[in-house]
Amino acid sequence: MAEFISLLFSNVFLLGITFIVCLFILDFMKSRKNGSHFPPGPRGLPFLGNILQVDYRNPAETFYQLGKQFGNIFSVQFFWTKMVVLNGFKVNKEALINRSEDIADRPRFPTYEKLGCAGETKDQFDPTYLINNAVSNVICSITFGDRFEYNDEKFLRLLALFNAALKAESGLLAQILNEIPFLNHIPWLFDRVMEPEYELVAFLKEMISEHQKTWDPNYTRDFIDAYLVEMEKVKEDGSSSFTETNLLMTTYDLFSAGTETTSTTLRWAVLFMLLYPDVQSKVQEEIDRVIGRERKPTMGDVLQMPYTNAVIHEVQRCGDIIPLALPHMTYRDMEMKGFLIPKGTTIITNLSSVLKDQEVWEKPLQFYPKHFLDENGKFAKQEAFIPFSAGKRSCLGEQLARMELFLFFTTFLQQLTFEIPSDQPRPREDPIYAFTLSPQPYNIRVVSRV
């Protein structure tokens, strides 16, 4: 018996050594496959690559620092997946605008593929709750044809789930699940990241189901109704993309993309008004001169309000809401700045490095609305202003977001003045990362101007 156990142990040990050697060989082969003209990058660990070298509280800053060492086009490796990072305005313009076709693909996100198959105002308060609710209700009106009351339990649950989902999706574990897809089949591991997503999908399914019960093809109430009309038209076409699954995921996209980014931008706007009261006063002077305090702002006012428009743009630039955008993937082999990047390579466009490029902006790390004003005080567009990305994969909701930002911001400052509560310290400007960059929690005091 002892000999059998000894022999079994020896065989298991030998098998283990052989397996490890094979893994090292495979890791070596995969690390070399891109050739000598592939962009350089930091040396990584066997199997893991550079995944532990990224600060997931602020990955854009990690990539910015690596760019100082390896240049504005460099590579990183997450497990066996090579990715190319683009830093700065010049190379991102080259990729997003001039080479838009070459990087028009998106990499796979196995976690989402599996999912798809599967009150009262006080003297001082945190504005997050009210701003999130207000912006979310815009999307609710478009999608569901109605808005929620701010104290509606279902609505509050929806907002909480979105916040939880963003935090879970931006962490290290989510990155590991996307890079090693077979781990998604471990239920407890997958559920740890995707549990908020399950509940979000269930919520949206319920809303779609309620629409289907009351749907009238002759009367379109909202986006879901319009989509159901198109589904009815092509119900005999098995190749059509108008399906219930796509309706569900498109509705999900509307909420995830149309709520968090705009509400976070507005929270940055309020924060900067607290920190720069002279800017707030100048915006209010322009509002009073162009709009007054009686009528509501309209988009027609924006052309007559260069300073307010400049402030909103500077909020977006300085707030840097989506520092890394969504990854691209090369549609075909491409050459860029002397580097050869093969088809199927993930491309990370570091938008943060563009919005704060020291070669473009006068004061890249400061809130400075004059970035968007010419010498005559007129609004001046800036080519390096790409918070919505650029090219074929730019944000489809850009125009809606621009309208929301202008109308909410001007309405806020038309009606209210924001102040730091006397018993509160000066709010911090450093952000919290959870895919988006959001402000640290802060309290405000509001004074009515009406």
Q: What is the pLDDT of residues 25-53, one digit of tens each?
A: 555 555 555 666 889 999 888 878 888 88
- Output phi, psi for 201, to 5 deg: -60, -40
What is residue 113's predicted lDDT score, i.e. its pLDDT?
A: 63
In the prediction, which pLDDT does 107 show?
Answer: 81
Q: What is the largest CA-CA distance in the chain?
A: 95
Q: What angle do CA 387, 388, 394 make, to 5 degrees?
A: 145
How far apart are the C-alpha atoms of 330 and 392, rounded to whole Å? 13
The pLDDT-based confidence of 375 (bands split at 50, 70, 90) is very high
Kindly give the residue spans of alpha helices, DSSP state H, lying in 145-184: 153-169, 172-179
Tell me the angle at which helices 244-275 and 398-415 cross, rounded to the nearest 10 degrees. 40
* Cα-to-chain-centroid distance, residue 246: 21
Q: Which residues contact 65 (CB under 8 A, 6 or more apart)?
A: none
Convert the pLDDT of each residue in 58-115 to its tens digit: 888 999 999 999 999 999 988 878 889 999 999 999 989 888 888 888 787 776 666 5
Burial of 427 (0-12, 13-18, 19+ CB in 10 A): middle
For residue 277, give the H/E element and its range.
helix 277-290
Q: Does residue 7 or residue 353 have the better pLDDT?
A: 353
Alpha carbons 421 and 120: distance in angstroms, whole number: 18
In the block, tokens 């809303």 appear at: 207
pLDDT at 307: 98
Mean pLDDT, the chain, rounded, equals: 85
Pairing of strands 346-349, 81-86: parallel
Can you spell out the DSSP letters for 361-418? -SSTTS--GGGGB-TTS-B---TT--TT--GGGS-TTHHHHHHHHHHHHHHHHHHEEE
Amino acid at 109: F
Q: pLDDT tens across 200-238, in order? A: 888 889 888 988 888 888 888 889 999 999 998 888 887
| Residue of 2, 35, 124 lying closest to 446 (CA atoms) | 124
pLDDT band of 266, cuts 50, 70, 90: very high
User: CA 349: distance to chain centroid?
Assistant: 12
For domain 113-448, the CATH architecture is Orthogonal Bundle (1.10)
- Among 444, 373, 441, 449, smallest CA distance to 410 is for 449
pLDDT tens figures, 181-200: 777 777 777 777 778 888 88
Among residues of the chain, what percentage have pLDDT more than 70?
89
